[in-house]
Amino acid sequence: MNPNIYDILIGNIVSFGLFIAYYFLFHFLIQEGKKSKIARYASSFLYWITFAIYFCCLLLGFAIHLVAFLLSISDLTMIAELIGIKPNQVHVSSLHLIALFTWLSALLGMLFFIPLFRRFIARLIPIDPKNRIHTVSLAIAVLIPFQLIITYLIGLSSLNEGTGSASLAETLVSIWSQDILFFIFGMIGVGWLTSRNSKETFQRLGITRISLKHVFLAMGIAVLFVVLGQLVDLFSTHFQVGVDPEVESYTDKLIGPLFSSWFGIFTLGVAAALGEETIFRGALTPRFGIILSSLLFAAVHANYGFSLSSLIVLILGIALGWLRMRYSTTFTMVVHATYNIILGILAFNHS
């Protein structure tokens, strides 16, 4: 195996795997805590460890403010090198903004640990304010928009310059490993192997058998979405509204190689439908509601920054959320896969 491919695979498994292992352990201890005091104490320990991590991020945000302030009043080369930037590339205002959103995100995550705040949130979305799993899930969800904001603050141009073009094999390994892990995370998130067996888990996620009629209906809806998206794209290109070449260039570096082969196009559709639909439509939409889960779905596509593409993803997420509640997650998987595959075919024919 190519060393780069191996590194990507191991990196995804380690980063996501540790996170999934923690989340599974927390679920398991919550369930075992109903029968064992030791498990109950252990789940409480993990619960408050999560709170402590957010508290440390709060302090980190304030620390970045301090570093930015020190850099603004003197030429502290050592501090610049410690945070991984060259002195002549220090943007103090950007550091302050990164610091601001770091401690604001941490503060929001910590608020979910306050019962009064959870009871308020429960009036807006269908969560159980007494359920610790819901508390941790909400706190984790804060990380998704934070990633988008940090991407925006760093700047797509900077990310684009620092990102090299990947090979088809590297992109395939990255996409499949991430989305398979997303799928597992979605399964564990609703209690697979802890409070639900496999059949109950798929039922909760809305991954159920659908009729051939619904398959064709889903594919037809996907074609309609593609047509609408192409019309919006033509409009934006003609009137130069929301057009950002950095978005196109950065996105091309991330997934562009997929458009060079039929298996790459298949991956673009099926892998994303498997991973993203399981989490956002299967696990989150019934619990967080259509709007919030769609906002998180749009935020996870950080490569689009704040652009017209992000708005299209948000609208698509809302439509998929409605279809999930109207039909099933399997239905939205077919829509999502068909939509991506058609876009991939169009890109392949233009290349």
- The mean per-residue pLDDT over the stretch 61-65 comes to 90
Q: What is the pLDDT of residue 112?
A: 95
Whether the CA torsion 297, 303, 305, 311 is positive or negative: it is negative
Assigned domain for 41 exists: no
The tally of domains found in the chain comes to 1
Calpha distance 126→348 (Å, rounded): 42
Average pLDDT over residues 2-6: 66
Residues 156-177, mean pLDDT to the nearest whole number:
75
Is the pLDDT score of 241 beyond 50? yes
pLDDT at residue 75 tops 60? no
Q: Does some domain include residue 159?
A: no
Name, in order, each residue with C-beta under 8 angstroms of 148's C-beta and a sequence gap of 6 or more. 299, 300, 302, 305, 306
- The b/e string for 81-102 (b: 16+ C-beta within 10 A; e otherwise) is eeeeeeeeebbeeebbbbbebb
Is 166 or 221 the better-scoring residue by pLDDT? 221
pLDDT at 89: 47
Q: Name 192's bridge partners.
A: 196
Query: Do 145 and 296 meet the contact criterion of CB atoms below 8 Å apart?
Result: yes
Query: What is the average per-residue pLDDT within 170-181?
Result: 89
Q: Does some domain include residue 51?
A: no
Nearest CA-CA partner of 140 in 46, 73, 266:
46
306 vs 60, which has greater pLDDT?
60
User: Is the residue at 62 inside a domain?
Assistant: no
pLDDT tens figures, 296-323: 898 887 666 666 778 888 999 999 999 9
* The predicted structure's pLDDT at residue 158: 62
From start to end of the chain, where are the E strands? none
Residue 29 clears pLDDT 80, i.e. is over it: yes
Residue 80 pLDDT class (50, 70, 90 cuts): low
**Bridge partner list, 196:** 192
pTM of the model as a whole = 0.85
Across the chain, mean pLDDT equals: 84
9: tokens are 């695979």
Structural domain including 321 reads 169-351
Q: Residue 34: enclosing H or E segment and its boundaries?
A: none
Looking at residue 220, what is its pLDDT? 97
Name the H helices within 155-197. Answer: 156-162, 168-189
Tokens of 6: 């191996």
Q: Distance from first CA to last CA of the chain, Å, rounded?
A: 28
- Whole-number pLDDT of residue 163: 61
**155 within some domain:** no
Tokens 């003609």 found at: 238
Number of C-beta neighbours around residue 165 at 10 A: 11
Beta carbons within 8 Å of 85's beta carbon, 6+ residues apart: none
Q: What is the pLDDT of residues 187-219, one digit of tens each?
A: 999 999 888 999 999 999 999 999 999 999 999
Contact 32, 197 (CB under 8 A): no
Confidence label for 276 from pLDDT (cuts 50, 70 and 90): very high
**Nearest-5° Cα angle at 33, 46 to 125:** 70
Reported for 294-298, long-range contacts at CB under 8 A and 24+ positions apart, including other chains, are: 294/318, 294/320, 294/321, 295/145, 296/141, 296/144, 296/145
Asked if residues 288 and 296 have their Cβ atoms less than 8 Å apart, the reply is: yes
Reply yes or no on whether the pLDDT at 331 is more than 60. Answer: yes
35 located within any domain = no
Name the more confident of 65 and 166: 65
Q: How confident is the model at residue 225 (pLDDT cuts 50, 70, 90)?
A: very high
pLDDT band (50, 70, 90) for residue 237: confident
Q: Does the pLDDT of residue 76 top 60, yes or no? A: no
Q: What does the CA dihedral 303, 307, 157, 267 come to, rounded to 10 degrees?
A: 30
Range from 30-34, 73-77, 260-264 carrying the lowest mean pLDDT: 73-77
Measured from the Cβ of residue 138, the count of other Cβ atoms closer than 10 Å reads: 22
Q: Is residue 283 part of a domain?
A: yes
Count of residues making up the chain: 351
